[in-house]
Structure 1
Amino acid sequence: MSVQVYGCNHVAIEVGDIDKAVAFYTDVFGLEKLDDGEGDAFFKLGEHQFLAMFERKGMATVEGEHHFGIMVRDDAQIAEVREKLTKKYGLSLIDGFRCDFRDPWGNRIQVVDLHDESLIWLLPYREVQKAGVKFSA
């Protein structure tokens, strides 16, 4: 019997201030908070995944190539995220990508949209229909 992977259940990140991180991710992405506790918070990410945040006070910002991706509906939503990141939060976008950035704690996030046909297979078909995604021939 071989192992069958069905997807990614969750992504966990560390942040220096859980209250500021909750406010940041709620504001930028409109994420629905599922639960929280002392020094942690959990957000719904799509149909079957979640984002876990754990506070680590005094953490040093570590930069590397590790990252995770968040999929939004379309280019207009990517533009909205870019605008909020740069204008409201003063964050820089990473050159060479549509919407890669580091959050205030150094976590690298890549924002893509449903029109990237290499990613569309990740969604249940009903979600693709509900979003009204159309691909050119």
Structure 2
Amino acid sequence: MQTTPRKTTAVGINHVALEVGDVDEALAFYGELFNFKLRGRKDKMAFIDLGDQYLALSEGRSQDPDTKRHFGLVVDDREAMRPLVQRLGCRILPSPFPSGLDFLDPWGNHIQVVEYASVQFTKSPEVLAGMGLPELRKEEQALNELKDKGVA
């Protein structure tokens, strides 16, 4: 008798990799947008620490700018990031959210900025404390969405 293999469960995202033209320029650019710790570098890659996850920057862009495909970057204060994005001359894209912030970085990566308080994404208190963010709170709607999924 043949048995069907058990499906695995996706637990989360370890990292997102972005193609950039130059790793040093990308580190300088992202350093203008937000505080970060460099997790490490190897060859033509750099790794920006996001607590228990990371953003990988890989040198060598191989495609045109992304206007639909994107990733959501969770920040503690989205509105504080808006003037920085504008000052750096990034192309602002229409956002599907009224107070959303979508933009292209200099290498054409579409970034959708979301605020920790308003989304289901969570970090454990220990990870937040390790990031120097022990006071982050969730809005009621995000808490209700988490509760509906059985996450208290």
TM-score band by shorter chain is 0.7 to 0.9
- Give the secondary structure class of the aligned counterpart of 1:131: coil
What is the TM-score of this pair, normalised by structure 1? 0.80
- Give the secondary structure class of the aligned counterpart of 1:115: helix
Alignment-derived partner of residue 59 in structure 2 = 55
Aligned-pair Cα RMSD in Å: 2.4
Q: Which whole-Å CA distance do the structure 1 matches of 2:140 and 2:10 have between them?
A: 31
Do 2:103 and 2:111's aligned partners in 1 also have CA atoms closer than 8 Å? Answer: yes
What is the TM-score of this pair, normalised by structure 2? 0.73
Unpaired stretches in structure 1, ≥5 consecutive residues: none
- Tell which structure's C-alpha radius of gyration is larger: 2
1:1-137 equivalences under 5 Å are 1-45=6-50, 47-56=51-60, 59=62, 61-73=64-76, 77-87=77-87, 89-96=88-95, 97=97, 98-116=100-118, 119-120=119-120, 122-126=121-125, 127=128, 130-136=134-140
Percentage of identical aligned residues: 32
Q: Which whole-Å CA distance do the structure 1 matches of 2:63 and 2:139 have between them?
A: 43
Change (3 A) 1:90 1:123: same
